[in-house]
């Protein structure tokens, strides 16, 4: 493990990890913005889309922290990225499931389905 930590080749996978995190962060911002617009208009699924955006944003921030921590050899950044990413993944999964169920019920109620 120490060889991987101090290897001069570590910059390639670490940079790819940080770039993937930045991409997830950016797409999370776009999803969140779209969800916020839908939620402000009381459209069904707006809150769920907003939560999906927040989830993607936090996953991206965690991956970026891990990648940058590996590149610059900051163990605290790696630990924070892992802990924050794992905790937020669990928390947002529960919230996203509840909001998805709410969106399905709202859509069914608007369509006049008996499921509501």
Tell me: the pLDDT tens digits for 11-26?
A: 899 999 999 999 999 9
Sorting pLDDT into bands at 50, 70 and 90, what band is 34? very high
**What is the mean predicted confidence (pLDDT) over 27-56?**
90
**What is the mean predicted confidence (pLDDT) over 24-47?**
90
Instruction: For residues 109 and 115, give the distance between their C-alpha atoms in angstroms, rounded to a whole number.
Output: 8
pLDDT computed for residue 4 by the predictor? 74
Kindly tell me the burial class for residue 47, based on how many C-beta atoms sit within 10 Å of its own C-beta (0-12, 13-18, 19 or more): buried
pLDDT computed for residue 111 by the predictor? 79
């Amino acid at each position: 493990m120490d060889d991987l930590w101090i290897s001069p080749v570590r910059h390639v996978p670490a940079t790819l990890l940080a770039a993937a995190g930045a991409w997830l962060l950016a797409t999370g911002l776009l999803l969140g913005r779209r969800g916020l617009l839908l939620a402000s208009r009381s459209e069904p699924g707006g809150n769920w889309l907003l939560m999906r955006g927040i989830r993607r944003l936090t996953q991206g921030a965690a991956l970026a922290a891990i990648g940058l921590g590996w590149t610059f050899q900051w163990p605290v950044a790696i630990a924070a990225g892992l802990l924050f990413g794992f905790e937020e993944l669990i928390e947002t999964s529960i919230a996203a499931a509840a909001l998805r169920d709410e969106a399905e019920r709202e859509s069914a109620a608007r369509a006049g389905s008996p499921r509501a």
